[in-house]
A and B are shown apart, each in its own frame.
Chain A
Amino acid sequence: MNSRPFAAAVRGLFGGRFAGAVRMSVASVLAVTLAMAAVPPPAAAVSGDAVENLSAVRAAREPGFTPVPASLPAVDSGVGIGSRLSADASGEVFLGSAAEGEGAALIRLTVFEPGTSQTVYTTADTAVLHAQQGITTSTTVLLPMAAGSVELWTDAESDIRVEPLAYFHGDQVSGGATIALPEPVVQADTATGLAGSALTSVPLWIGLTGEGGVSATLARSVHVVLDVTLAEADDVVLGDGQRMALPTGRSIVATIVDAEDQGGVTVGLGRSGNTGTLRATVTGWVAEAAEDTSGANHRGSYVVNTEHRPATRLDVSAGTAPQEVRLSDDHDSAYALALVQASNVSGGDTTTLAWGPEVRGRSTGVAVDQAAGAQPQLALVPVDTGGTQLSIRRGSATVSLQPLGSFLGDPVPHHASDPAAITITSPADRQSLDLTETGYFTLEGTVSTGGNSVDRIAISSPDVGFIGLAELNPAGDELTWSFRALAPEDGDFDYVATVFDRSDPGTARASDRVRLTLDVAEEGDTVVSPEAQVFHLETTELEFEVLDEFSLRFTERPELEPGDIIVSAPLPSAPSGFLGRMSSMDLVSGSWEVSTIEVPLEELFLQVDIDETEDYGEGDDVAVQDLIAQTTDPLEVISGSYTPVGEDGTPGPEMPVSDVQVLDENGNTHSPLPGTYAQIAAGEDVDLELSSDEFNVPDPADFKTACRLPGTDGQEPLGEDIGDDGEWRAPVAHAPGDGSCGGQLKGPGASLSADWTTKVDASVAAVVENGVPKIRTAGKKLEPWEFEAWSEKQRGDEGGVAVRGGGELNLGFAFVLKTKLSFKWKVIPRGVSIEEFRIEFNSKLKASASVQAWLQVESRWNVNLKVAEVALPTTTFMAGPIPVAITNRLNFAMVINGTLRAEADIPAIGIERADTFGFVYSSAKGMKRIKEDTPTTYVLPKPRQVAGATAFSFEGEVAAGPQVSYQSRIYSFAGPDITLSARSGYAAKLGVTGIPPTEAEIEASIFLALGLTGSAKLTLLRWDLLNLTIFQVGVRLNLLEYRDKWRL
């Protein structure tokens, strides 16, 4: 075939993106229309279901494929075209203005008789060509391009010839689109044990798909560079039938490979006893059109040979008639891609191979060294009706030629003498299928075409008409196809598979039919994807080890394929179980490492009704890690800052506290015991009600509590009040005044069974000594009456504040997942609706604090103590055959802050709350935040003079209380992370009269500093709220404002 007219036509057709878009639209509309016309329902009217089925068909794009017309090399530095290849690792080679705007290039590199062995590299130090000393060597490799340049350099500056053969700018939506990886991915390296430790006659298995951007399930072929060093000359044999004769020493071969079902290919040597090393790098891939894509192949698509694939050996001699060769399965191929190698060279000349009916022009193409011949390499060959002619320009040689695939050109007229054929291989005709638990079945078959390649395979049924379009999968010597189908109700249904070729998209070429008896899933059935593979459910034997959130290690080769959903019940190495969709597999140091990607829950649970509420019983399996007690460096868990405030109220520089100590009651450094600061309380030890006995208030009459009723003042938002950014602006509101809650707390959270709590206590003093801020923590839990004495010992020269804070919290959560299958005839995107996905936390919280301050100068303090990490037991329940595992962790901190000038003792402040928060999502209503406005019980504080002090003052505010962070995980995936802080606050301005003071007068307010922040990494669900901020709420809830006057 004359390449120039085609090239010009291709340029004309492919030149404009706008034109491409128009063609794409027209093509898709045409295909859809023709599909309907070709497979009408019995009544010859298009059914509503058929229209719905058609609406799921996606427009297909033409792959961007631009063959380069016969040209001088882009670089041929030896004769003055371009520059020598640089030894600079950042070297680039500009391929010309025609390459600009393209994404990738198939280029031939030739190194001529190098003085020493030479290696050429590209991105990520990937070696793509190795020439032994004095041997002219060429190779053809797919490389990514940017601004018309490819990255190339060599280990020693030298002359090089660079011949662009074709450019690509397709994307993975386009069937047959060739895509270069931005960065090559190493998939085998015997030096590191990846895929194996040596290349021998026992084949290594190399994973090819699912990494570096290569689709796990929709890769038609993969471009691979094999860097091989052999002890002795041998054949390297690939699992897809390729055979490469390589010499002793190092060779680098680039080829295109068909990955097997598990996403890899085997590589071995032809002779036993020989050995070598191997490094295999994937540089690109060819996309397969997904199910329901309007066309599987287009002009420019790369199609894999399944018929004309065996290698042939040809003796070629210059001056003799060219050898006829068949390189493509189909006659609509414009260019074939073949693996070519040459040996037995005679004639004494280094030359090149030539394609076509006659040898023309100057030497370009596959280089044939006068001694070594041509190493195995890809050749892009113009073909006409699938064939061409092969010649050698000078001398003679034996050429081994293995056709691999073709880039499509224009379709050719259909010939009845070369008919297409299609067969449904599974399920068998008259078979009965139970779909009640799996939802759908997969229709599979084989197809062969005549002169043209497949345009599409339409699946239809007389009951509905058009159903959908199948996905192709070249597999060895046959082209297979598959389609996921079902029916809207029980019964007998005919399914028809019809193949259309590219010659006439409106004419069915062949069809096959099966009649199936289906028992389909109904509402209420639990339906999980048939892609799910469940592990560790009924066995204690470890089938795999979890390496990290996305990786598993099997000791035996698992029977998994890319796309399978791996589900595991909790196991020792993954207490949260495991869920992931297999993307790739590698053999690493003898073990099979499987990489996965996240699975949207509704892709696993096609139809499910899960409603689980967990309160963890009496907390038997709740584990507390006492962080302060266990740390070796207090700075890891205790932090703070100090800011002096000037007389005029201007804050000075904030000073982080770097001097942190844990001290015993005598002021000596102390190592606290576990349980000092945090522990689990159960049974009678649970105390979520504020009472006088937890404060140093000798006279119970001095201890009073009050209550704020919810919904009375608009100070606290409900979930629906919070904006999409998670924020809520509090109105300026006054405290509603003292009230009575009328007994125990009410509200949704109050229903939580409080049979256990996590209890934390910490006493901390923030002091300034010689201008240096310090934080000291008591080395044990202090009883209320001990705190005053401990505080007195911490008083520094310049002032400080000591706080004894405590908190107690009980937690429960609810997990709701209700999905509904709405498939009728096939699996369609978003065909599973989420009726409800809810994660809701319920907590009961008590926070209390005693404060002693001796600050004669106003200052601002922030102190944060990470007190405890609480691991709640994994909750596991079954959804049909699938184990669902949910874990929650809590992180407790005590947070103290204030800006004040005070010499006073505030023996009791505190709050008591029940909270409910979280989110709920549904397909119909989107996401809603859950947050209630709940009652708050609080202590009425009464300041007093510090024992022994003569002064009595208080101006400013202080707040202290627990901060709890909830981390929820479904399997090992990140769920919502939400932090609730509830600090009991006291703000006052106190005046005294008399020296020493005899009377005090105060204007004060009690408040709750309520913080609710959090986000959810919602990749579990296929909606558009990735990394959603759920809450960003900071509320100062004014509880009570009062004036008081009393005699001291």
Chain B
Amino acid sequence: MNADRRGSWGRIFRTFLSLNLLLAAAWFGAAPASADRVGLDTPEALYAPVGAVQLWVDVESQAARSGVVSISWRADSSWVPLALSSTVFGVTGSTAVSPGGLELRFSPAGRFSADVAITFADANGIIVEEHRLRNVPFDPARTFDGWITWNDMAAGNIPPGPSPSPMPSPGGGPDRQPNNLPGAHTNIQENHSSTSVTSPKSLGTTGAAGPLLVGILAGGVLSAVAGTVLVLRQRWLRAAQAPRDLAAGRAEQQGETR
């Protein structure tokens, strides 16, 4: 009987949890793909536009000043490292480019998050195109052979780390969520902003419909309450079952010993 009741509560809990996750996924899925890539035209593949003769790469955060080991780029087969300068904003590198496709990759030395800006300028220094990614997580453990490319950053294709421990925030505090939620690759900005989800305006920027958000929140609250109740109930049941299990276990041990 107890097993049946546990199974029933468990199904309710799993249903709520699934619903909540589904709603969350729907919410994050409803957010525009540009939310992490500032500007609707932020590309996953970089292309130096016509007129561009300079490429500037900026990784902006306090930690980036010493946290970026290397940035290199290639327009063909060979990677060329950029000469990096540490600035008060982070780290900056530049190179001469010609119009056409190119790739960029970054090698972090530590774990931090930073904004990544790509700027193409003409011969007079006039900016012809620029892109920005907000709060990109850099972690040597979350790279491909030590490198993470712009394409992967822009696509949210950052490899999961070996540890689920939280990523340091720009201010040194913990991030609110790990970056491995469904759809998280499309919402780097929000995932790492300690204030983003607390502001109605920031919610408004996700593009999710109001009723859906209310539903998500309600579902979340309901899930939390139901989960808590279920957990407490499970603990209570476990506490009640424990002497029996203990006795049974001892019997089994004795049987095996024997």
**A residues in contact (CB < 8 Å) with B:** 69-74, 78-81, 96-98, 112-113, 136, 317-321, 346-352, 358-363, 367, 370, 393-396
Contacts and interface: CB of A to CB of B under 8 A. Distances in A.
The 5 closest A-B pairs by CB, nearest first: A361-B130, A319-B193, A321-B201, A72-B125, A362-B117
Contacts of A318: 134, 193
B87 A112 contact: yes
B105 interface: no
A876 B249 CA distance: 128
Interface stretch (B17-25, B57-65, B238-246): B57-65
Contacts of A78: 85, 87
A361 B120 CA distance: 10
15 contacts: A69-B127, A73-B125, A79-B87, A80-B94, A319-B134, A319-B135, A319-B202, A320-B205, A349-B170, A351-B89, A361-B130, A361-B131, A362-B89, A362-B117, A393-B60
A320 B117 CA distance: 18
A70 B190 CA distance: 27
B54 A72 contact: yes
Nearest to A136: B88
A396 B56 CA distance: 25
B92 interface: yes
B70 to A, nearest CB: 16
A319 B130 CA distance: 18
A393 B115 contact: yes
Chain A interface mostly = loop
B195 interface: yes
A649 to B, nearest CB: 74
B66 to A, nearest CB: 14
B173 to A, nearest CB: 9
A138 to B, nearest CB: 11
Contact of B88 (A81, A97, A112): A112
Contacts of B115: 393-394
Interface string B85-126: 101110010100000000000000000000101010100111
A72 B56 contact: yes
B204 interface: yes
B189 A360 contact: no
A113 B124 CA distance: 28
Nearest to A317: B195
A363 B38 CA distance: 13
A351 B196 CA distance: 18
Contacts of B125: 71-74, 81, 96
Contacts of B38: 358-360
Interface residues of B, number: 41
A78 B85 CA distance: 7
Contacts of A351: 60, 89
Contacts, number: 121
Contact of A70 (B56, B126, B131, B199): B126
Contacts of B83: 80
A1042 B114 CA distance: 111
Contact of A71 (B92, B124, B205): B124
Nearest to A367: B88
Given A78-B87, A394-B115, A71 B60 contact: no
A81 B56 CA distance: 12
Contact of A350 (B62, B127, B131, B202): B62
B88 A79 contact: no
Contacts of B205: 320-321
Interface in B179-216: 189-190, 193, 195-196, 199, 201-202, 204-205
B39 interface: yes
Interface string B146-163: 000000000000000000
Nearest to B91: A79
B174 interface: no
Nearest to A361: B130
Q: Which of A98, A349, A393 has the most CB of B within 10 A?
A: A349
A72 B121 contact: yes
Contacts of A362: 56, 58, 60, 89, 92, 117, 119, 130, 132
A287 to B, nearest CB: 30
A97 B124 contact: yes
B172 interface: yes
A317 B170 CA distance: 13
A320 B202 contact: yes
Contacts of A360: 38-39, 130-132
Given A79-B92, A321-B204, 6 more contacts: A71-B127, A72-B125, A96-B125, A360-B38, A361-B119, A361-B131
A395 B192 CA distance: 11
Contact of A394 (B61, B119, B121, B199): B61
A442 B201 CA distance: 53
A360 B195 CA distance: 20
B61 A349 contact: yes
Interface string B53-83: 0101010111000000000000000000001
B195 A70 contact: no
A362 B85 CA distance: 14
> Which of A96, A352, A361, A393 counts the most chain B CB atoms within 10 A?
A361
A320 B195 CA distance: 8
B134 A361 contact: no
B124 A79 contact: no
A348 B61 CA distance: 8
B171 interface: yes
B127 A321 contact: no
Q: Which of B127, B135, B189, B201 has the most chain A CB within a 10 Å cutoff?
A: B127
Contact of B89 (A74, A80, A363): A363
A363 B170 contact: no
Contacts of A358: 38-39
B88 A320 contact: no
Contacts of A136: 88
A79 B57 CA distance: 11
Contacts of B172: 348
Given A346-B171, A360-B38, A319 B132 contact: no
B184 to A, nearest CB: 15
Interface in B28-64: 38-39, 54, 56, 58, 60-62
B170 A395 contact: yes
Contacts of A73: 125
A274 B174 CA distance: 42
A1030 B241 CA distance: 126
Contacts of A98: 124
A136 B89 CA distance: 10
Contacts of A321: 199, 201-202, 204-205
Interface string B226-239: 00000000000000
Contacts of B132: 359-362
Contacts of A348: 62, 170-172
Given A348-B170, A349-B170, A361 B195 contact: no
Contacts of A96: 124-125
